[in-house]
Amino acid sequence: MWDRLSKTAWVLGVSLVLGSATWSPAQQQSSQPQQVTVSADEVRDLESQFRTLQQNYIDLQKSIINSGGLSGISGDARWKDVDNMQKDIDDLKKQKEQVLQQLDDLKKNAAATPPPAAAATAGGDLMSKFKDALLLNDSQSTGINMVWTLICGFLVMFMQCGFAMVETGFTRAKNVAHTMSMNLMVYAIGMIGYWFSGFAIQFGGTAAKGSCSTVTTLGSSVTDHLTGLSGLHIGEGFWGIAGNVGFCLPPSMLSGGIFTLFLFQMVFMGTTNTIPTGALAERWRFLSFCLYAFVVGALIYPLYGCWVWGGGWLAALGTNLGLGHGHVDFAGSSVVHLCGGTIAFIGAKMLGARIGKYNKDGSSNPIPGHNLPMGVVGTFILAFGWFGFNPGSTLEGMNAQIGVIAVNTMLASAAGAVTGMVTTWIRFRRPDPSFMCNGMLGGLVAITAPCAFVDSWAAVLIGAIAGVVVVFAAMIVDEKLKVDDPVGAVAVHGACGLWGVLALGLFANGQYGEGWNSVAGKVTGLFYGDPGQFLAEVIGAATCIAVVGGLAWLMFTTLEKLVGNRSAVADELHGLDIPEFGVLGYQPDKHPESK
Same domain flag for 466 and 517: yes
pLDDT in tens, 262-312: 999 999 999 999 999 999 999 999 999 999 999 999 999 999 999 999 999
Same domain flag for 237 and 106: no
Same domain flag for 84 and 189: no
Q: Are 285 and 353 in contact (CB under 8 A)?
A: no
DSSP single-letter state for residue 35: P
- Start-end of H helices in 429-530: 433-447, 456-475, 489, 496-507
Asked if residue 149 belongs to a domain, the reply is no
pLDDT in tens, 449-480: 999 999 999 999 999 999 999 999 999 999 99
H or E element, residue 232? strand 229-234
Asked if residue 418 belongs to a domain, the reply is yes
Q: Are 354 and 559 in contact (CB under 8 A)?
A: no
Same domain flag for 455 and 559: yes
Q: What is the extent of the structural domain holding 11?
A: 2-29+36-140
Query: Which amino acid is present at 385?
Result: G
Asked if residue 587 belongs to a domain, the reply is no
**The Cα angle at residue 27 between residues 23 and 30, in degrees rounded to 5:** 155
CB atoms within 10 A of CB 467: 31
Nearest C-alpha neighbor of 186 from the set 309, 305, 279: 279
DSSP collapsed to 3 states, 94-111: HHHHHHHHHHHHHHHHHH
Give backbone dihedrals phi and psi of 284, rounded to 5 degrees, phi first.
Answer: -95, 125
Q: Which of 97, 123, 140 is the last residue of a domain?
A: 140
Q: Which of 124, 140, 156 is the last residue of a domain?
A: 140
Asked if residue 377 belongs to a domain, the reply is no
Same domain flag for 121 and 186: no
Q: Are 9 and 60 in contact (CB under 8 A)?
A: yes
Q: What is the dihedral of CA 184, 190, 191, 197, to 10 degrees?
A: 170
Nearest C-alpha neighbor of 337 from the set 180, 470, 142, 139: 470
Q: What CATH code is carried by the domain that includes residue 271?
A: 1.10.3430.10
What single string gives the DSSP state of each residue in 520-534? SS--B-GGGT-HHHH
Same domain flag for 128 and 180: no
Q: Are 380 and 444 in contact (CB under 8 A)?
A: no
All residues at 6 or more sequence positions from 474 whose CB lies less than 8 Å from its CB, including other chains: 435, 438, 485, 488, 490, 491
Same domain flag for 341 and 420: yes
The neighbouring-strand residues paired with 231 are 240
Asked if residue 378 belongs to a domain, the reply is no
What pLDDT shows up at residue 590?
A: 82
d(CA 514, CA 522): 4
d(CA 412, CA 507): 14
Q: What 3-state class would DSSP assign to 355?
A: coil
Same domain flag for 238 and 134: no
Same domain flag for 183 and 133: no
d(CA 355, CA 97): 68
Asked if residue 268 belongs to a domain, the reply is yes
Low-confidence residues in the chain, pLDDT < 50: 1-40, 42-44, 46-47, 50-51, 54, 65, 68-83, 118-120, 122
**What value does the mean pLDDT of the chain take?**
85
Same domain flag for 241 and 319: yes
Exposed, middle or buried, 89 (CB in 10 Å: 0-12/13-18/19+)?
middle
What sign does the CA torsion over 99, 105, 108, 109 have?
Answer: negative
All residues at 6 or more sequence positions from 275 whose CB lies less than 8 Å from its CB, including other chains: 337, 340, 341, 343, 344, 489, 493
Same domain flag for 458 and 506: yes
Judging by DSSP bridges, how do beta strands 237-243 and 229-234 pair with one another? antiparallel
The domain total for the chain is 2
Q: Which of 140, 160, 185 is the last residue of a domain?
A: 140
Query: Which amino acid is present at 138?
Result: D
d(CA 17, CA 123): 8
What pLDDT shows up at residue 168?
A: 97
Query: Which amino acid is present at 124?
Result: G
All residues at 6 or more sequence positions from 475 whose CB lies less than 8 Å from its CB, including other chains: none
Exposed, middle or buried, 274 (CB in 10 Å: 0-12/13-18/19+)?
buried
What pLDDT shows up at residue 10?
A: 40
Exposed, middle or buried, 361 (CB in 10 Å: 0-12/13-18/19+)?
exposed
d(CA 295, CA 548): 12
Q: What pTM was computed for the model?
A: 0.80
DSSP single-letter state for residue 284: B
d(CA 334, CA 436): 23
H or E element, residue 234? strand 229-234
Asked if residue 362 belongs to a domain, the reply is no
Q: Are 125 and 163 in contact (CB under 8 A)?
A: no
Q: Are 483 and 283 in contact (CB under 8 A)?
A: no
Same domain flag for 422 and 548: yes
Asked if residue 243 belongs to a domain, the reply is yes
